């Protein structure tokens, strides 16, 4: 990608992508990268979502180009006004300034068993283990020190960061009259859809009988735990430290902050679970809940 572009190049890209925007300024001005508003560097692209994100008014005097959220009243020499300014800003960075990840096809110290099936352009880092009835779709990137075992199907264009463990038996046991516990062997698998992002050190257990399922487009922050038999819909966001107990069902587009969700509970589509919540009851679709125990605050 070019390190120097013109504002006109940015607008051409947005037009090609069908983005609706307004622009004021000079199309011929050069842009030499990007920076945050708090640590702004001259001749770069930055992002302004709201007025209170501006550290001080003086910084605006130096801004060469800003992507500004519709409705924010500012006067800058060059500004792109658009809805969903965050997405627009990062899409521009990805298109013009992204440097592709450099990973080998298979890194040193990685073991891949003969039953594993890899799609096209899969990248696997160092010291990984893929051992079992495993399929990895085209374009998926697996970083270092990842363990994927037993029965796992991973879709296309996924990202699995370092330290992730997928496919181990979940925590389940039977006990006799003297409470002596015997761990329950698991026979299910894990099915992960396309364009799923799993951040560092997450754990995803396989199902006991049926599968643990993660829908297309879902994104998991670091240190999330997904227990056995969990079913997660499409475009779900799990934020750092979320603990999802066994057989939980989470609907499409839900946002689940770092919290605990009790086993066998349901979180409906488009619901939001606040930070630190303990969910012990089902959450209706579109509901915002928070607290310990989590209680409804408002319906979106």
Is the Cα dihedral 92, 97, 100, 101 positive or negative? Answer: negative
User: What value, to the nearest 5°, has the Cα angle with vertex 221 and ends 202 and 88?
Assistant: 150
Residue 228: active-site member: yes
Residues 6+ apart with CB under 8 A from 158: 137, 140, 141, 192, 194, 195, 196, 197, 198
Given a contact cutoff of 8 angstroms between Cβ atoms, the answer to whether 283 and 269 are in contact is no
Candidates 247, 227, 228, 250; CA nearest to 238 is 250
CA distance 294 to 192: 28
Given a contact cutoff of 8 angstroms between Cβ atoms, the answer to whether 80 and 10 are in contact is yes
Given a contact cutoff of 8 angstroms between Cβ atoms, the answer to whether 250 and 234 are in contact is no
Residue 205 sits at φ, ψ, to 5 deg, of -85, 150
Per the residue annotation, which of 95, 144, 225, 228 is the catalytic one? 228
**Which are the catalytic amino acids?**
228
């Amino acid at each position: 990608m070019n390190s120097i572009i013109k504002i006109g190049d940015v607008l051409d890209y947005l037009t090609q992508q069908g983005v609706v925007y307004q622009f004021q300024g000079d199309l011929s001005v050069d842009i030499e990268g990007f920076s945050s508003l708090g640590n702004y560097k001259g001749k770069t692209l930055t992002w302004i979502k709201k007025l209170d994100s501006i550290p001080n008014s003086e910084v605006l005097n130096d801004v060469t180009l800003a992507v500004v959220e519709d409705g924010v009243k500012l006067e800058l020499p060059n500004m792109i006004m658009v809805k969903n300014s965050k997405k627009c800003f990062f899409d521009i960075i990805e298109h013009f300034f992204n440097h592709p990840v450099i990973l080998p096809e298979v890194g040193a110290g990685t073991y891949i068993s003969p039953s594993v099936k890899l799609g096209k352009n899969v990248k696997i880092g160092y010291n990984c283990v893929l051992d079992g009835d495993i399929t990895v779709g085209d374009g998926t990137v697996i970083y270092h020190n990842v363990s994927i075992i037993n029965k796992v199907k991973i879709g296309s264009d996924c990202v699995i960061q370092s330290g992730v463990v997928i496919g181990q038996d979940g925590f389940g046991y039977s006990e006799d009259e003297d409470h002596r516990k015997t761990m329950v062997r698991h026979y299910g698998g894990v099915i992960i859809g396309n364009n799923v992002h799993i951040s560092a050190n997450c754990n995803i257990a396989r199902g006991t009988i049926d599968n643990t399922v993660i829908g297309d487009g879902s994104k998991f922050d670091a240190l999330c735990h997904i227990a056995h038999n969990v079913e997660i819909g499409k475009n779900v966001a799990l934020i750092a430290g979320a603990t999802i107990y066994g057989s939980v069902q989470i609907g499409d587009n839900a946002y689940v902050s770092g919290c605990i969700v009790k086993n066998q509970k349901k979180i409906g589509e488009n619901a939001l679970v606040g930070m630190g919540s303990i969910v012990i009851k089902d959450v209706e679709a579109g509901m915002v809940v928070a607290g310990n125990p989590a209680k409804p605050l408002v319906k979106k």
